[in-house]
Structure 1
């Protein structure tokens, strides 16, 4: 007889929220991809913190603060998100982790604009 600790339900919920946020980014924030940017949901804790990192063309972009603010404002309205952090690196800055291929398209972080 095994005892279900509910851990699989939590993992599925985190994955479901991550997928929902990634899908929303792809549909509602096409400007990221249009400008050669990428996005990655680094954490999706239902009822807790969600962390999104922007990369590629977003690195050092002058309007990245507007983009991050728009993302934060929208996602804070979702009942399953308590806290949201959207990070976009300054030019030459790195978060110390590789940017994976984004749901929004090709990973363009190495070439900046995909070149």
Structure 2
């Protein structure tokens, strides 16, 4: 499998398995999906920024991707702690000036 193929499969999985993210105004993007190393990086944005259950969502994504994709060994889900989640936010919540937090190693 190529990187693109794994990334596309995980992106399709995210849309099908995690529609609640989009329904609540959140966004998600697969930043990396390397079938050779088994590493996947997913970034949440939009209303996921500052959401009280974003850590639960992140843990569910990690667990489920590892269970559903045998070539995946490690999943990192990045969740913005603060930052612009308005109309200028681009896919993955990367618009605006993100501020970094020490809340968790997975938060940026």
Report the TM-score range of the alignment, normalised by the length of the smaller protein: 0.7 to 0.9
* Equivalent residue, structure 1, for 2:13: 24
TM-score, normalization: structure 2? 0.74
Query: Which of 54, 59, 65 matches 1:64?
Result: 54
Which digits, 9 at most, give the CA deviation of each residue in 1:81-107, with x for residues without a partner?
A: 0111011111238xxxx743x7xxxx8
CA-atom RMSD, angstroms?
2.4
Is the partner of 1:61 in helix, strand or coil? coil
Aligned residues: 90
Structure 1: 5+ residue stretches without partners: 1-11, 111-115
Structure with greater Cα Rg: 1
Alpha-carbon distance, 1:72 to partner: 0.3
Once superposed, which parts of structure 1, at least 4 consecutive aligned residues long, lie more than 2 Å away?
A: none
* Bigger relative contact order (CA 8 A; separation at least 6): 1
Structure 2: 5+ residue stretches without partners: 97-108
Is the partner of 1:23 in helix, strand or coil? helix
